[in-house]
Amino acid sequence: MKGQSSVPQAGIESTLGDARLQLAIYTATGRLIDHRKKAVSEEALPDYQELRRIAHELKRHTIENLDYYLAQVERKVAERGGKVVYCEDGAEVSRFVLELARARGERLVVKSKSMTTEEIHLNEALESGQVEAVETDLGEYLLQLAHERPYHIVAPALHKTRYDVADILTGSLGVERETEPEKQTKIARGVLREKFLEAGIGITGANFVVAGSGAVVVVENEGNARLSSSAPRIHIAVAGIEKLIPRARDLAVFLKLLGRSATGQALSVYTSFLAGARREGEADGPEEFYLVLLDNGRSKLLADRDKRESLYCIRCGACLNHCPVYRKIGGHNYPWIYSGPIGAIITPQFHGVEQDPWLPFASSLCGACAEVCPVKIDIPKVLLKLRAEVTASGARGGTERRVFRVWAWVMAHPWWYGVLGKMAAALSPRPAGGGWVNKLPGWMAVGPLGSWLKERDLPPPAEQSFRSQWERRRRGA
Amino acid sequence: MREGARERILGRVRTALGRMPGEGAPEPPAYELVVRGPGPGPERVRLFVERFEALAGKAHMVGSAAEAGAKAREIVAGRSVVAVEHEVVRAAGVMEWDGDVRHGFATGEELRRACAECAVGITSTSYALADTGTLVAMAGPGEPRLASLLPPVHIALVPEAVILAGIEELLLRVPEPDEGTSSMVFITGPSRTADIEQILVRGVHGPGEIHAIVIV
Amino acid sequence: MATGRVSIFVTCIVDQVFPRAGMAMAEVLERLGYEVEFRAGQTCCGQPAFNSGYREEAAVVARHFLRVFEGAEWIVVPSGSCGSMIAHHYEELFPGDQEMAKRARALEGRVFEFSRFLLEVARTDDVGARYEGVVTYHDSCHALREMHIKEGPRRLLGKVRGLTLKEMDIAEECCGFGGTFSVKFPEVSGGMARTKVASIVRTGAEAVVSIDSSCLMQLQGALSRAGVGVKTMHLAEVLAAR
């Protein structure tokens, strides 16, 4: 566990000060907002709210009975000729993959986009075990070449321009500089096609694990997850234990919400429902199938009844797109690979609230995230709980608590409240002509007032508070 | 070691939820799968065509398997073809074309090489979903996974009878897809990406061009 | 004419900084025939502590509020945010205290955000106001998403003689205030305010109207810093104008 982090002030300021990046984030998320809005409109999906309600209920039911469904999927996968492998953490996953690769004599792994494997830094672990792991989603591939982590759950390379991409491709592959996205894509396709046909192992994530079918469901647009799961001899799907849903029919609910919430697509281009390895009579497909079920802190989250719903997330990214904070600070100022509102609620639960005590406070609690969440996670509610946990842990220091204690005492003592209000009104500078305060004397421009004035003008307190005016009016009447 | 992981994880999950080993679960929340949209017939076909084309797929309507073959041949325009062993594809006469038409592979490796080398893959489809313009490919003897994936152009022959209203009807008809196949793939338009500056590029890993020849 | 007595909770920010919004609210209520009472013991709803993670301290303030407003039939608040704090969050401040939780719960049907009180209790959308000018309406987040107040204020503005409402392209987007967020993350908060200001300016309105004074403080602060001559007005001020 790392030491306690503080607000990444430098990163935030550099993101805010980068006009190009600001435009890129704003445009990309804005487009995703528009697409989603159309896709869930009354005309396009009249039962949208009902679907959200059912999705929430289905997730709740599965999570509340998770051990039952884990046992069921284990049995079902075995029936379909595959094997479930439980892993406590990333080290266990990489050990499993490396041992399997060694036993089968495989040296090359193709990977499709998976936040779960990002979470455990699987690529690095495999590389250090002499197994090459290649990301095959275009955005992820570019980031792997650039040695960066995803900027966004759904659009990982959202922060890169075509010129950045040209630099990455030229720098890493030695190809001629090309700035047209279409041609850049072709270059990547060529390189990756070779890898797909050569690799002995394909690793995918899973958007859903269907307990009753022993199947994983992988949703994508490019075809790289289809290739990763069907071209190599071995397919390994890595999923968090929370990804389970009860039955195949429940996909009619979740698939209708996922694509629409993520990109505004009624269905993403490819949805693969994969139940075990290739069967007798099938012309192609993997000979071996493994489903890795990863805990990595999830069972710890389950223990908190009030915050358990954080595990309902289907990783659509809608909360990021709609979050005015994410849209300002981007993805890389969040301490973990999960950014935006969902990152702000799950990171502290995975890592402990003491590690990034500032994170649950980096929100105006506007609630736009909860409004668009397809599984109705009450993100502001969880943020508020986490804030209370942070203060209880003492990670914010004693001064703030003392300030709030005094403040609460004053608020419960109206006479003092009135007197202090009058004092503030008397002390406050008042710009001539009745405008707002632009600047305070140095001794006053500290703490919250100083922070406020960095960005905005400040209203002076009223010369006559409401209570004084009311009292005067009452007497006059 | 990993066996230990299983017991530890399940143990923690049960403790967190306050459940006993082997405890059952109540029925999942009940809800109905409602089939919407036009029933079987020309309206449904029209909707499929409309939605398929809205996603930049190209749909063609023909009156018979033979006509489907002729249409496919026109699209192929002499390029190399990998054709799957499916009765609809056979009835369309694809296997009898002269030129580079590969089918009937002895080994998986041969099939794979053909898919990797050919310009066009010709398949049928297990089902199609009208409301999303989706092809449903269930892997089986007549439906390899790679024929609709590796060639840059994919042509699917779609008999009208396999067109369903949408995903609800599919899952009502096939509630346990895992019983019949190890792989069911929904194909909704050509392969695409918007990873660079949100600019749409087709054909990133899968086919950039996709045709549905609907046999009505 | 409506009759009855309403108790107003003006909120600390209106009391100390924007008293004219509170006076305007009282004036409109009196115009409708209500007897308006201001219980002098009132202070704050406790939200700053609650949102900062200090629930015990928030509970101290909530307890005080409950004491002050004991027996009030209707409590009208010129704020969606404070109103939502009282109506929706007080209960969670008293875990394990059945009696207090019950008292908190009992508030839910009695605490009304001002515009909602006009529409749902006074049952009027026309209070006889006249305001010459073009305004735009800012949806405050807690009103919009916790209390589902969206059309109500617009309906009221629609009946104001002489007033033209021009919608922003991002009326529902947060202004960036967020209580202590505004001073814990000033650059982010300021950036959000500027995004909103740009949208306000695009409407060509001369005033931005909201039902929350805290949002208006953030917006006016940013407008004033940017030197933009758009003013901010509480909905009550518009409705009190004749």
Give pLDDT, residue C2: 67
Q: Is the pLDDT of residue C212 over 60?
A: yes
Higher pLDDT: A258 or A395? It is A258
Cα-Cα-Cα-Cα dihedral sign, residues B102, A232, B151, A270:
positive
**What pLDDT band is residue A1 in, cutting at 50, 70 and 90?**
very low
Q: How far apart are the first and last CA of chain B?
A: 58
* Chain C residues near residue A371 by CB distance under 8 angstroms: 145
- Write the residue in A362, A367, A389 that is nearest to C146 by C-beta: A367
Q: Which residues pair with B4 in a beta bridge?
A: none
Residue B104: give the domain boundaries.
51-215
Among A6, A25, A322, A366, most C C-beta atoms within 10 A, so best to mutate, is A366
Residues of chain A numbered 456-475 and touching chain C (CB < 8 Å): 456-459, 461-462, 464-467, 469-471
Residue B26, number of CB atoms within 10 A of its CB: 9
Neighbours of chain C (3+ CB pairs under 8 A): A
Tokens representing residue C156 in the block: 């009221």
Nearest C-alpha in B relative to A183? B201
Give pLDDT, residue B1: 45
Neighbours of chain B (3+ CB pairs under 8 A): A
Q: Is the pLDDT of residue A348 over 80?
A: yes
- The rounded radius of gyration (Å) of the Cα atoms in chain C is 18
* Chain A residues near residue C19 by CB distance under 8 angstroms: 462, 464-466, 469
CATH number for position B81: 3.40.50.10420
Question: Are C112 and C18 members of one domain?
Answer: yes
Taking 70 as the pLDDT cut, the residues of chain B under it are 1-3
A280-313 pLDDT, tens digit per residue, is 989 999 999 999 999 999 999 999 999 999 999 9
Cβ–Cβ below 8 Å for C57 and A405: yes
B27 within a domain of the structure (yes/no): no
The stretch A36-44 carries a mean pLDDT of: 97
Please give, rounded to a whole number of angstroms, the shortest distance from the CA of A224 to a CA of chain B.
6
Do the Cβ atoms of A177 and A163 come closer than 8 Å?
Answer: no
- Write the residue in B16, B144, B181 that is nearest to A302 by C-beta: B16
The Cα angle at residue C73 between residues C72 and C74, in degrees rounded to 5: 100
C119-176 pLDDT, tens digit per residue, is 999 999 999 999 999 999 999 999 999 999 999 999 999 999 999 999 999 999 999 9
Please give, rounded to a whole number of angstroms, the shortest distance from the CA of C40 to a CA of chain A.
7
B touches A (3+ CB pairs < 8 Å)? Answer: yes
Q: Is A354 exposed, middle or buried (0-12, 13-18, 19+ CB in 10 A)?
A: middle
Compute the count of residue pairs across chains A and B with CB atoms less than 8 Å apart.
267
B37 within a domain of the structure (yes/no): no
Which residues fall within 8 angstroms of residue C237, CB to CB, at 6 or more apart? C20, C21, C24
Among A98, A221, A293, most B C-beta atoms within 10 A, so best to mutate, is A221
Would you call C226 helix, strand, or coil by DSSP? helix
Tokens representing residue B202 in the block: 């087709």
Q: Which residues pair with B60 in a beta bridge?
A: B213
Give pLDDT, residue A477: 63
Question: Are C52 and C72 members of one domain?
Answer: yes
Lowest mean pLDDT among A83-92, A224-233, A320-329, A444-453: A444-453
The stretch A38-54 carries a mean pLDDT of: 97
A323-338 pLDDT, tens digit per residue, is 999 999 999 999 999 9
Which residues fall within 8 angstroms of residue B184, CB to CB, at 6 or more apart? A272, A273, B126, B136, B137, B138, B139, B177
* Chain C residues near residue A390 by CB distance under 8 angstroms: 53
At A108, phi and psi to the nearest 5?
Answer: -130, 130
Cβ–Cβ below 8 Å for A414 and C57: no
Nearest C-alpha in B relative to A301? B16
With tokens 């009472």, the residue in question is C37
Tokens representing residue A443 in the block: 């001794």
At B70, phi and psi to the nearest 5?
Answer: -65, -40
Question: Are C214 and C157 members of one domain?
Answer: yes
Domain C-terminal end among C119, C150, C180 = C119
* Chain C residues near residue A410 by CB distance under 8 angstroms: 43
Cβ–Cβ below 8 Å for B17 and A215: no
User: Rounded to whole angstroms, how far apart are CA atoms B206 and B149?
Assistant: 5
Query: The domain A40-296 is classified under which CATH number: 2.60.40.10, 1.10.10.1100, 3.40.50.10420, 3.40.50.720?
Result: 3.40.50.10420
b/e string for B38-57 if b means 16 or more Cβ within 10 A? eeeeeebbebbbebbeebeb
Question: Are C163 and C211 members of one domain?
Answer: yes
Domains contained in chain C, number: 2
Question: Are C29 and C54 members of one domain?
Answer: yes
Length of chain C: 242
Cβ–Cβ below 8 Å for C53 and A362: no
Do the Cβ atoms of C83 and C77 come closer than 8 Å?
Answer: yes
- Write the residue in C141, C187, C217 that is nearest to A366 by C-beta: C141
Give pLDDT, residue A180: 97
* Chain A residues near residue C22 by CB distance under 8 angstroms: 466, 470
Cβ–Cβ below 8 Å for A461 and C17: yes
Which residues fall within 8 angstroms of residue B110, CB to CB, at 6 or more apart? none
User: Rounded to whole angstroms, how far apart are CA atoms C28 and C78?
Assistant: 12
A90-124 pLDDT, tens digit per residue, is 999 999 999 999 999 999 999 999 999 999 999 99
B touches C (3+ CB pairs < 8 Å)? Answer: no
Cβ–Cβ below 8 Å for C61 and A456: no
The stretch C173-190 carries a mean pLDDT of: 97
Nearest C-alpha in C relative to A438? C225
Q: Is B102 exposed, middle or buried (0-12, 13-18, 19+ CB in 10 A)?
A: middle
Cβ–Cβ below 8 Å for C16 and A425: yes
CATH number for position C28: 3.40.50
Distance of CA A97 to the CA centre of its chain: 26
Tokens representing residue C33 in the block: 């025939």
Cβ–Cβ below 8 Å for B182 and A246: no
Tokens representing residue A67 in the block: 């051990």
User: Rounded to whole angstroms, how far apart are CA atoms A171 and A150?
Assistant: 19
Q: Does C58 touch chain A (CB under 8 A)?
A: yes
Among A32, A60, A189, most B C-beta atoms within 10 A, so best to mutate, is A189
Q: Does A307 touch chain C (CB under 8 A)?
A: no
C61-87 pLDDT, tens digit per residue, is 999 999 999 999 999 999 999 999 999
Cβ–Cβ below 8 Å for A181 and B201: yes
* Chain A residues near residue B167 by CB distance under 8 angstroms: 251-252, 255-256, 267
A416-444 pLDDT, tens digit per residue, is 999 999 999 999 999 988 889 999 988 98
The mean predicted confidence, pLDDT, of chain A is 96
Domains contained in chain B, number: 1
Amino acid sitting at position C78:
P
Do the Cβ atoms of A167 and A354 come closer than 8 Å?
Answer: no
User: Rounded to whole angstroms, how far apart are CA atoms B96 and A173?
Assistant: 43
Which residues fall within 8 angstroms of residue A182, CB to CB, at 6 or more apart? B199, B201
The dihedral region occupied by A292, where left means phi > 0, alpha psi between -120 and 50, and beta the remainder, is: beta
Q: Does A43 touch chain C (CB under 8 A)?
A: no
Q: Is the pLDDT of residue A263 over 50?
A: yes
Interface pTM, i.e. ipTM: 0.97
Cβ–Cβ below 8 Å for A282 and B33: no
Do the Cβ atoms of B192 and A270 come closer than 8 Å?
Answer: no
The Cα angle at residue A406 between residues A405 and A411, in degrees rounded to 5: 100
Residue C45: give the domain boundaries.
5-119
Domain parsing of chain A, residue ranges: 40-296, 400-425, 428-477
Nearest C-alpha in C relative to A33? C170
A354-368 pLDDT, tens digit per residue, is 999 999 999 999 999
Question: Are C144 and C68 members of one domain?
Answer: no
Question: Are C74 and C15 members of one domain?
Answer: yes
User: Rounded to whole angstroms, how far apart are CA atoms C125 and C187?
Assistant: 39
Cβ–Cβ below 8 Å for B171 and A252: yes
B200 within a domain of the structure (yes/no): yes
Please give, rounded to a whole number of angstroms, the shortest distance from the CA of B206 to a CA of chain A.
5
**What pLDDT band is residue A476 in, cutting at 50, 70 and 90?**
confident
